[in-house]
Amino acid sequence: MQQHHYLGDLARIGHTIWYVATRGEQWAALLSFSAAAWKCGVRDRWVGWDFRSQYGRLKLIANNSRFLILRDWHIANLGSKVLSLCGQRIAGDWQARFGHRLLLMETFVDPARFHGTVYRAANWTCLGLTRGFRRTREGYSQRAESPKLVFVRPLQRDARAQLSRCILDPVYRTGVPKIMLTAEQMRTLPDFFNDIPDPRRAQGRRHRLPVVLGIAAAAVLCGMRGYKAIAGWARDLGPKARERFGCRRKQRRYLVPRESIIRGVMGSDST
């Protein structure tokens, strides 16, 4: 994958399954399925789910994050056949490996390079284009860069209805409940911590205490557990969300507290 795919290898983050398609004893194609995109406007509108419950249901979607047909195997119908075979088994594999079901597959195609023909041939549905913002270490890029085509493939007939239900069917529930916050909740949550004395030394404070505690509380409300998960949730916040929480701005970017800062504030050894 690293050698032949134009995006290179994909770091294994969260739930990920790799497939190798073979003919005889030879490898013909490689695929990976991983966690769904956190936000995708055309997908979210197609599903029709409430944004407050969306975050807890993303685990029911797998993203086809890489698909590579090896050079000697560019033959008719191979790609669509491989995708169809994956669709037949991924729900069972995901259940066996990660302990919960899947309802939908998604993928993103760069229209500057491909037309998504193989996905169309495998009965995936093209929903339209993303807005073009990409994820970065700081959250999301400031400007739209390269919109992608969005394709989806339900794994059962009522997948869309199940994802958009007001109350999720118990068979699809796992772990603790998760929610998504409104813009107003993001703005007001830090205010609840304004009266708490800051135990840290004044020198070197990079983030206001209410902001750190507000972000930590929001992450917990959204299902995060542990300092690392809270910090990861904070890193994934987009520029608008960071502004709403009152994050410090530096060189046109809103900065979120690192794990060490969150741990220091919330742990017993605050400085």
- Written as one string, the DSSP assignment of the chain is -TTTSTT------SS-EEEEEEETTEEEEEEEEEEPPS--HHHHHHHT--HHHHGGGGGGEEEEEEEEE-GGG--TTHHHHHHHHHHHHHHHHHHHHHSS---EEEEEE-TTT---HHHHHTT-EEEEE-----EETTEE-SS-----EEEEEESSTTHHHHHT-SS--GGG--SS------HHHHHHGGGGGTTSPP-S-STT--S-HHHHHHHHHHHHHTT--SHHHHHHHHHT--HHHHHHHT-EEETTEEE---HHHHHHHHSTT--
Query: Where are the domain boundaries for CATH 3.40.630.30 in the chain?
Result: 17-172
Q: What is the pLDDT of residue 189?
A: 93
Q: What is the pLDDT of residue 135?
A: 58
Using one digit for the tens of pLDDT, what is the confidence trace for 142-168? 555 789 999 999 999 999 999 998 888
Q: What is the pLDDT of residue 271?
A: 37
Q: What is the pLDDT of residue 120?
A: 96
Using one digit for the tens of pLDDT, what is the confidence trace for 28-76? 999 999 999 888 999 999 999 987 778 789 999 999 999 999 888 788 8
2 versus 11: the higher-pLDDT residue is 11
3-state SS, 46-89, equals HHCCCHHHHHHHHHHEEEEEEEEECHHHCCCCHHHHHHHHHHHH
The reported pTM is 0.65
Q: Which residues pair with 63 in a beta bridge?
A: 34, 106
Rounded CA gap, 59 and 252, in Å? Answer: 33
Mean per-residue pLDDT for 91-120? 93
Kindly report the CATH number that applies to the domain delimited by 17-172.
Answer: 3.40.630.30
Q: What is the pLDDT of residue 270?
A: 40
Rounded mean pLDDT of the chain?
Answer: 86
Mean per-residue pLDDT for 98-107? 94
Using one digit for the tens of pLDDT, what is the confidence trace for 62-71? 999 999 998 8
